[in-house]
Amino acid sequence: MGLLALACASAGAQTKLRAWNIHPDGYPVTEAMKRFASLVAQGTGGRYQIEIFSNATLGDQPKAVQMLKAGDIDVAEFSSGPLSDAVPGLKALNLPFLFSDSAHMFKHLDGKLGERFAAKLQAAGFVVVGWYDGGARSFYCASRSVGSFKDLAGARIRVQQSEVYLEMVKLMDATPVALPFKDVLSALEKGEVDCAENNMPSFESTGHYKIAKSVYVTNHVISPEALVVSTKLWSSLSPADKAAFQKAGAESALVMRDLWNKRVASAIETAGKQGVQFVRVKDVAPMVRRLSPLYGKYMSDPSTREELLTIIGN
């Protein structure tokens, strides 16, 4: 009878949490979040159980941001876009050629710069428990072969609705076309855009590689994503539970980064077998010089200058 009462008490103390992400099952982000949920359950003795809602089933990213802030969802994985809306200094991370690779980026985000961003994000309603890899972005084209950034001149290039991306493409003498990601394949097929830019898993998983056969591997933007919990949930956790969440988040980030690297290699192999031609940029210096007005603008902005100086100086 005592054991039954203990079991009932334990079940009654269990808290169920909801976690959001935009990606499908099997994607590195989703699988890493599953690992996070498992580690949280272990670290809290089963008192916190996290259910993963993938594929944006609870709403798109802007809606999920509002739900997290309201406490209607407890955990989410966001790209740098909505995070930089909350903390303008994060825009610096979207500047082209800021990082040489993901290892360079995580050297900063797993250190002092990441701690500074995390403190600012927490004040804005996002408690960062892990920095995930947002991937390295390159250009790919359906209507032209690209062997140099000069070959992009005059092209209509799909970009995110982002100030940095719009200005970057204009400075390359091309025309930026801001479209929702779900519309890019159709736009490439119909010739409404000539090129797009994204990371290789997105290029492959969406089928863009079936239309766009020329990839100019620039890795021009290497940006992070973040696994966050709501401040409402965070304020309710004991110090021990906060430590368990942070430990689980850090471990899930390492899982995600490893899965991501494997997915990038797989995507390139799949696209290559379908006749996609990859041309790697030999020297980024000409592109960097062309984009100098963009760097000047953000270096003169007080909200991003300190972050840029921290990255460039190390």
Weakest-pLDDT range from 23-27, 160-164, 210-214, 250-254:
160-164
Token pair of 294 as six digits: 């963009």
Q: What number is the average pLDDT over the span 103-132?
A: 94
Q: What number is the average pLDDT over the span 92-118?
A: 92
Cα separation, 314 vs 305, in Å, equals: 14
Beta bridge partners of 57: none
Domain of residue 104, CATH code:
3.40.190.170
Domain that holds residue 185: 2-312
Provide the pLDDT confidence category of residue 187 given band limits of 50, 70 and 90. very high
27: left (phi over 0), alpha (psi -120 to 50) or beta: beta
- For residue 1, pLDDT beyond 60: no
Q: What number is the average pLDDT over the span 241-269?
A: 97
Cα separation, 283 vs 140, in Å, equals: 18
pLDDT in tens, 24-45: 899 999 999 999 999 999 999 9
Q: What number is the average pLDDT over the span 213-239?
A: 96
pLDDT, position 182? 84
Q: Which of 110, 118, 109, 132 is nearest to 23 (CA)?
A: 132
Say how many domains are in the chain. Answer: 1
Q: In the chain, which ranges are E strands?
A: 15-20, 48-53, 75-78, 126-141, 156-159, 175-178, 195-198, 214-230, 277-280
